[in-house]
Structure 1
């Protein structure tokens, strides 16, 4: 009873109890749920202290302890503009040793506190006191928070040098759309810090690292200083670094002197046309570079060669070298387009950072091209800077086709492409569309076989792009490709690679995630040559990139593609034969099966025989996709087994007569690999093995038979124990092999692998490499030995 009551109290303590302190509440306190014991996970609590005109609110942190960089207390200041209340975050607290900060609101402003926790560690939390005071002295109240910038230059009010709060004051300056804010910081006390943010950047998630537009520390910065925003709103945070020396060092009575006004935005688009000359390179930078670009940009420029054809055997090409690239990942892009006559074709789009990309060069094949920069209305970063130059190339150092990408719209074709030994820069695209003869209702799959030989260039890779109906976004963190086991371990160790193994009875697939950490790791991660098969249910684009010094090697690629019908059940009437094991698989195995399928197979054995089935693999969507086995000719006959999810079978399934029905049904959501079932015919009079529906024959009149069974069970126990020892030895040997395979040394760094092994009894075994380093990655591995299944998870770490 007491324990249940304690649990109830603990659950109640986890409730936020979000509180609003109205204008009648002169003072009070705020505590995190459960304080002073640990708070709970997944909290999102809100506390508001309403504003009163001509009054200021003082907020004091009495106690504070949270998980650093995971659990946060956000302090937002409220303000009223045009009879509407707004709020802006002015501080974020996390961790333990933050001191005992005190905050003073602006006159007529209030506070909103938000306490957010994640699912990991918990600590004591926070205890906060607040009180209201009349704003009779500028030493204990901040100036008004919100200001509207106009064409007239205005002074930004400053607290006096004897201001009582280290945390300082906050200001928000806004102006009309299409304009920016010009802030002239004329003087700053040597013991004060004056930081300017684009408001939208500072209001992002608390765990996001925000770069200021300008950071000024009085003793280190030079004034006067002009600051021009990239958006129409900035947030200014003023902090007192050392109050004791503030008054003595000040030349006047105030901490800073600044003026602000509205100005034209510096984020005008770059020129719409650039002529790329053969005698000198062209530099192109994002608007606002090297500070920050702006919101809602849509800037496009056409690149035109001043001379395309050099002579009968040579042509010029446009080559881009990217020096700086830092865009908001997944939201802001630079799009690369091929121009032909009066139309443009999209090739790829870049986002994120250059340091985590595989290439910094890009080559256009035609006479003209286009670059287009688009940004959203949220975070802005540094932008990009690139050099555009002309490179003379032989006619055989070109991509196939007049324009890029080269389109393929037939049901199948074979073609080749090569890059000669004296060819160093290429970017070629092959776009495989659905056949023009295919109907919208046709369910087909693209199968591409590529036989390749690389030049072993510094920047050389073959990329499969599958989201071509949208943008072909180069990932800023991961680049994934399938390769064969022909890649030797020594080659893997030469590169910064994250490895994913999918293993059956042998290594069947190995995925390489390249360029995780090194700035420029451009060694080819594919084997120097080999053959690959690529499958996809939607159109695919394949991109070959080369940027390298000329060497003696030739790159050769042979493509053979076709669109195959999928989602077909196949032959439904199957014949089982004695001593012959035939295979039945889910449609399109080993690829994923399709949605909305209903397949019913009838397996028939000769007269006097029964059907025996052995399910060796099963991976279905749990509770939604099913495989059912029936003892007879239809699904209305007695059911032998119905299965869903992932399951391991140790028993054979057996019908009681000549027929067995196998029924497979899927829904409209998740798909999986499917099933593999082997079947044969067995004499109805012969019984061997642990068949389903089999009962051991016995004689109640034969006591010796009972003793024989006892002895047999002992023998069976001994045999089972020996088999268990053998299996355990195989598993331990396999794990030792994985440790040896995964704990390898990179030429720049040491790697650490943590392997968790899940056996048939849910046992956990850890194998750790000697040195612990941190790499934010997770890899899943599945290992199958005969009829046993071992699920393994591997975590890599790198400091």
Structure 2
């Protein structure tokens, strides 16, 4: 039997950008359809991309004119890429500006819903006033201090125009010397804007842990949107690495001191991090959601160090969330192939009662490595 396949031409594939904003045609994308639009201009081209909450379509924007050699080598002319959950951009509208006078926009779909147009793309001709390469290739200072009264603003190199490739920027950020006070104090990071390439540019956050540093989070845009990250320690370490030249993306962070109730510290110490390595460990933790509006607690669950046999790890979470902003995330490391995979549980996953018991991990004992662990955040 021959399958029934319908082919349609793409609407109005050629466009010319002027100083007046225009939009690419809207049309309902069928299953496995793709369209490409070409936009030319006498100036640079600014595109504003909006999307609905859909994961079954993709948009790629390519510069089709001349652009710098390092950019061509790193990005192959690709200006933006939006692909379902794997988009390197976590907030919309997404705005990008070309260096060339010509761009191509490729839109593809794997959606069977014929009645939803999941995108809106506006374009306009603009003058590019300044190249970010003049100032984007320097790291931020290696040591920074957060004042008790004045928040610290930390921008990625060249923000918001972009940053260069092959950067490895490390900074130690500390709260200024404590004063005579009984207040419990923490550092809080506010993510004002965060757009980096998901595969190439992570921002790693570490805290002191004895004589070592422990990573709390390697923040890339694949992680669901969070606005704040609170650290019990008065000192944190940030490491930002880049592999490719990027334009019109980066991050803007505000780091400030906040007062905390003593019962709002995760483990009763100046650390958000705790290791569990016994054969049977249980943790019961209850906190007042009104008194403790910002908490980030981490447990690293490891097989016993003295064990001579392979282990698999079973974790059961009994969750009760206060509101939609609360969540628990579980990540496996070195199970099977060695890559980390994460699952997040929030109020949408635990039902209207907001209480549930979840088997987070039940891993085959034949593939588990001895150094496998589970991180619970």
Question: TM-score band, normalised by the shorter chain?
Answer: 0.5 to 0.7
**Mapped partners of 1:206, 1:310: distance in 2:** 52
Match of 2:149 among 275, 279, 291: 279
Check if 1:325 corresponds to 2:208.
no
Unaligned runs of 5+ in 1: 1-40, 42-65, 69-94, 102-118, 124-168, 176-197, 231-263, 484-490, 493-511, 513-523, 544-799
Question: Which secondary structure state, in structure 2, belongs to the residue aligned with residue 373 of structure 1?
Answer: strand
Identify the residue that residue 448 of structure 1 maps to in structure 2: 315
Residue deviations 1:373-425, cap 9 Å, x none?
11223655511101111111122110115534200111112332222341111
Answer yes or no: is the 8 Å Cα contact 1:447–1:536 preserved in 2.
yes
Q: Quick one: structure 1 residues 171 and 438, their matched pair in 2 at CA, closer, same or farther if it must change by over 3 Å? A: same
**Mapped partners of 2:262, 2:78: distance in 1:** 52
**Mapped partners of 1:268, 1:449: distance in 2:** 46
Identify the residue that residue 255 of structure 2 maps to in structure 1: 388
What does 1:389-404 align with in structure 2 at a 5 Å threshold? 389-400=256-267, 401-404=269-272
Match of 1:429 among 288, 298, 305: 298
What does 1:126-137 align with in structure 2 at a 5 Å threshold? none
Q: Quick one: structure 1 residues 171 and 379, their matched pair in 2 at CA, closer, same or farther if it must change by over 3 Å? A: closer
Q: Quick one: structure 1 residues 99 and 386, their matched pair in 2 at CA, closer, same or farther if it must change by over 3 Å? A: closer
**Mapped partners of 1:267, 1:383: distance in 2:** 13
Q: Quick one: structure 1 residues 305 and 205, their matched pair in 2 at CA, closer, same or farther if it must change by over 3 Å? A: closer
Match of 2:361 among 526, 531, 535: 535
How high is the TM-score relative to the length of structure 1? 0.32
Answer yes or no: is the 8 Å Cα contact 1:214–1:227 preserved in 2.
no
**Mapped partners of 2:34, 2:356: distance in 1:** 52
Identify the residue that residue 292 of structure 1 maps to in structure 2: 162
Question: Which secondary structure state, in structure 2, belongs to the residue aligned with residue 199 of structure 1?
Answer: helix
**Mapped partners of 1:266, 1:282: distance in 2:** 20
**Mapped partners of 2:234, 2:275: distance in 1:** 19
**Mapped partners of 1:289, 1:525: distance in 2:** 40
Answer yes or no: is the 8 Å Cα contact 2:135–2:157 preserved in 1.
no
Match of 2:276 among 375, 393, 408: 408
Match of 1:266 among 112, 136, 141: 136
Q: Quick one: structure 1 residues 216 and 473, their matched pair in 2 at CA, closer, same or farther if it must change by over 3 Å? A: farther
Q: CA RMSD in A?
A: 4.0
Q: Quick one: structure 1 residues 528 and 311, their matched pair in 2 at CA, closer, same or farther if it must change by over 3 Å? A: farther
User: Which is helix-richer, 1 or 2?
Assistant: 1
**Mapped partners of 1:539, 1:288: distance in 2:** 37
How high is the TM-score relative to the length of structure 2? 0.63
Identify the residue that residue 464 of structure 1 maps to in structure 2: 330
**Mapped partners of 1:122, 1:324: distance in 2:** 31
**Mapped partners of 2:282, 2:72: distance in 1:** 55
Residue deviations 1:531-564, cap 9 Å, x none?
3333243411111xxxxxxxxxxxxxxxxxxxxx
Answer yes or no: is the 8 Å Cα contact 2:75–2:244 preserved in 1.
no
Check if 1:228 corresponds to 2:131.
yes
Q: Quick one: structure 1 residues 173 and 372, their matched pair in 2 at CA, closer, same or farther if it must change by over 3 Å? A: closer
Question: Which secondary structure state, in structure 2, belongs to the residue aligned with residue 390 of structure 1?
Answer: strand
**Mapped partners of 1:280, 1:122: distance in 2:** 50
Q: Quick one: structure 1 residues 381 and 527, their matched pair in 2 at CA, closer, same or farther if it must change by over 3 Å? A: farther
Q: Quick one: structure 1 residues 381 and 351, their matched pair in 2 at CA, closer, same or farther if it must change by over 3 Å? A: farther
Check if 1:212 corresponds to 2:212.
no
Check if 1:339 corresponds to 2:242.
no
Identify the residue that residue 707 of structure 1 maps to in structure 2: none
**Mapped partners of 1:324, 1:208: distance in 2:** 18
Unaligned runs of 5+ in 2: 17-30, 36-63, 83-94, 103-123, 364-371
Question: Which secondary structure state, in structure 2, belongs to the residue aligned with residue 467 of structure 1?
Answer: strand
**Mapped partners of 1:221, 1:444: distance in 2:** 60
**Mapped partners of 2:125, 2:14: distance in 1:** 25
Question: Which secondary structure state, in structure 1, belongs to the residue aligned with residue 360 of structure 2?
Answer: strand
The higher-RCO structure (CA 8 Å, 6+ apart) is 2
Residue 266 of structure 1 and its aligned partner are, at CA, apart by 2.6
**Mapped partners of 1:385, 1:471: distance in 2:** 28
**Mapped partners of 1:278, 1:471: distance in 2:** 39
Answer yes or no: is the 8 Å Cα contact 2:197–2:221 preserved in 1.
yes
What does 1:92-111 align with in structure 2 at a 5 Å threshold? 95=10, 97-98=12-13
The alignment of Structure 1 onto Structure 2 pairs a total of residues equal to: 285
**Mapped partners of 2:352, 2:149: distance in 1:** 37
Q: Quick one: structure 1 residues 285 and 99, their matched pair in 2 at CA, closer, same or farther if it must change by over 3 Å? A: closer
Question: Which secondary structure state, in structure 1, belongs to the residue aligned with residue 359 of structure 2?
Answer: strand
Residue 265 of structure 1 and its aligned partner are, at CA, apart by 5.1
Answer yes or no: is the 8 Å Cα contact 2:203–2:241 preserved in 1.
yes
Residue 329 of structure 1 and its aligned partner are, at CA, apart by 1.6
Residue deviations 1:151-185, cap 9 Å, x none?
xxxxxxxxxxxxxxxxxx9545558xxxxxxxxxx
Answer yes or no: is the 8 Å Cα contact 1:405–1:431 preserved in 2.
yes
Residue deviations 1:466-487, cap 9 Å, x none?
137978687xxxx544x9xxxx
Bigger Rg, structure 1 or 2: 1
Question: Which secondary structure state, in structure 1, belongs to the residue aligned with residue 315 of structure 2?
Answer: strand
